[in-house]
């Protein structure tokens, strides 16, 4: 038994999805937590400081490489598994069986595709200007100059279509997590009934709270809840 055999079996491929999925879940907590600084009502000072820390400190920069690897592995493996699984039934049914499972558990690839489209636009909105093309700077005093990403958010979320697209992406994320969170833990082997119930509850709560927090960010800027 080699590691290659382990991760390329049908169970192993799912392990890759589960491990990368859980890693991405952890990233969402960090991302939502840092972004919540926009609600500090200080004109974006705390948020820009947090973003500066993430962009300039070595540890998050190294983690960022892992994050990109994790995202791409999750996306590529997800698409490959979807195509592979579809190929296992060449002749389909006249009447499909849809009552035994939730629609979103059967639609992870579609929800994931919406999220991928969102990532491309989201990176273009924030990551590319911050890392490559440059962002207007903000002087926090004593020569402490940071990127004014708060200002970029303010500008970006004045467009109602951008806000609507972000909210749709957050709803997709919610359904993706509603299945993915608990499924990932089952895939890594959590089968104790007590933990099962606990993970189902935490997963459901996570799938509502995190996407809701993210969705409230563009809405807050659009409706000028934050200055």
Partner 1 sequence: MSQNTMNLKVKVWRQKNANAQGAFVTYDVAGISDEMSFLEMMDILNERLITEGGDPVAFDHDCREGICGMCSMYINGKPHGPWQANTTCQLHMRAFKDGETIVIEPWRANSFPIVKDLTVDRSAFDRIIQAGGYISLNTGNAVDGNSIPIEKQNADDAFAAAMCIGCGACVAACKNSSAMLFLSAKVSHLALLPQGAPERKSRVLNMVAQMDKEGFGSCTNTGACEATCPKEISIANIARLNSEYLGASLSAQ
101 is a site residue for partner 1 (CB under 8 A): yes
For 89, the 3-state DSSP assignment is: coil
CB of 72 within 8 A of CB of 19?
A: no
Residue 139's beta-bridge partner residues?
145
- Residue 27 Cβ vs partner 1, minimum distance, rounded to whole Å: 22
**Smallest Cα–Cα separation from 173: which of 207, 124, 139, 209?**
207
176 is a site residue for partner 1 (CB under 8 A): no
54 makes contact with partner 1 (CB under 8 A): no
Q: How far is the CB of 93 from partner 1 (least distance, A)?
A: 6
Among 132, 133, 143, 193, the residue binding partner 1 under the rule CB under 8 A is: 193
Q: Is 95 in the site for partner 1 (CB under 8 A)?
A: yes
Q: Residue from 94, 142, 161, 224 that binds partner 1 (CB under 8 A)?
A: 94
**Contact flag: residue 194 with partner 1 (CB under 8 A):** no
Task: Out of 189, 198, 205, 225, name the contact with partner 1 by CB under 8 A.
Answer: 189
For residue 21, what are its two tokens? 């999925």
**Least gap, CB of 203 to partner 1 (angstroms):** 11
Among left, alpha and beta (phi > 0; psi -120 to 50; other), residue 44 is left
Q: Which stretch binds partner 1 (CB under 8 A): 50-58, 84-92, 135-143, 162-170?
A: 84-92
Per CB under 8 A, 25 contacts partner 1? no
Q: Within 10 Å of residue 9's Cβ, how many Cβ atoms? A: 12
Burial string for 191-224 (b: 16+ CB within 10 Å, else e) reads eeeeeeeebeeebeebbeebbebbbbbbeebbee
Q: Which is nearer to partner 1, 86 or 131 (CB)?
A: 86
Region from 31-39, 60-68, 89-97, 211-219 binding partner 1, contact rule CB under 8 A: 89-97
Q: How far is the CB of 76 from partner 1 (least distance, A)?
A: 15
130's CB contacts (< 8 A; 6+ apart) are 51, 55, 147, 149, 152
Task: Report the C-alpha dihedral over residues 9, 13, 18, 23, rounded to 10 degrees.
Answer: 120
Q: List residues near partner 1 by CB under 8 A.
A: 1, 5-6, 9-15, 81, 84-102, 105-106, 108, 179, 182-183, 185-191, 193, 196
């Amino acid at each position: 038994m080699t590691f290659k055999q382990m991760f390329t079996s049908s169970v192993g491929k799912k392990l890759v999805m589960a491990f990368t999925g859980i890693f991405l879940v952890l990233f969402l907590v960090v991302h939502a937590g840092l972004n919540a600084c926009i609600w500090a009502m200080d004109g974006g000072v705390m948020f820009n400081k947090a973003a500066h820390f993430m962009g300039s400190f070595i540890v998050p920069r190294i983690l960022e490489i892992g994050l990109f690897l994790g995202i791409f592995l999750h996306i590529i493996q997800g698409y490959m598994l979807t195509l592979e699984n579809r190929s296992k039934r060449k002749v389909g049914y006249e009447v499909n069986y849809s009552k035994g499972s939730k629609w979103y558990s059967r639609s992870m690839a579609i929800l994931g595709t919406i999220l991928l489209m969102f990532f491309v636009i989201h990176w273009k909105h924030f990551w590319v200007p911050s890392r490559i093309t440059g962002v207007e700077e903000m002087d926090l005093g004593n020569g402490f100059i940071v990127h004014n990403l708060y200002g970029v958010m303010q500008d970006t979320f004045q467009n109602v279509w951008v806000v609507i697209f972000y909210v749709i992406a957050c709803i997709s994320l919610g359904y993706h997590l509603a299945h993915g969170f608990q499924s990932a833990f089952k895939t890594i082997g959590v089968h104790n009934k007590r933990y099962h119930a606990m993970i189902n509850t935490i997963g459901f709560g996570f799938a509502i709270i995190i996407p809701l927090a993210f969705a409230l960010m563009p809405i807050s800027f659009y409706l000028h809840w934050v200055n």
